[in-house]
């Protein structure tokens, strides 16, 4: 890819992809893992009774599913950014080749 604009765009896409990856890691390390750890501790007997049962239910049904959906959306964003970047790079390569062929044709006239 020789186009300076596309080189810059690629750097921006890589930066955004890295930031999305960081956000996924933050969700995993600072929200999901501790929540699952709390569930394990409660189910292990550290807290018993109706309140404990409601806590496990709330985390399991109200926190983790939206968190998983958000994580999947972030993965989708990363995937689609990569695909879009590849499409742009492929298009640039094809256009560059077509222009070179056209120039060769005019040069031969």
Q: What is the pLDDT of residues 64-87, one digit of tens each?
A: 999 999 999 999 999 999 998 899
For residue 9, the model assigns a pLDDT of 85
**Buried residues in 8-32 as b, exposed as e (16+ CB within 10 A):** ebeeebeeebeebeeebeebeeeeb
Residues near 23 by Cβ (< 8 Å), separated by ≥ 6? Answer: 74
CATH 3.30.70.1450 for the 4-108 domain, yes or no? no
Q: What is the pTM of this model?
A: 0.74
| Segment 95-104, tens digit of pLDDT | 999 999 998 8
pLDDT of residue 30 exceeding 90 = yes
């Amino acid at each position: 890819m020789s186009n300076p604009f596309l080189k810059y765009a690629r750097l921006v896409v890589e930066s955004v992809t890295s930031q999305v990856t960081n956000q996924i890691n933050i969700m995993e390390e600072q929200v999901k893992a501790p929540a699952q750890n709390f569930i394990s501790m409660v189910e292990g007997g550290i807290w018993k009774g109706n309140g404990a049962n409601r806590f496990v239910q709330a985390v399991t049904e109200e926190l983790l599913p939206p968190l998983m959906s958000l994580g999947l959306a972030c993965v989708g964003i990363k995937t689609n950014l990569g695909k879009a970047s590849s499409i742009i790079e492929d298009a640039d390569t094809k256009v560059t080749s077509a222009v070179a062929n056209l120039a060769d044709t005019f040069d031969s006239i």
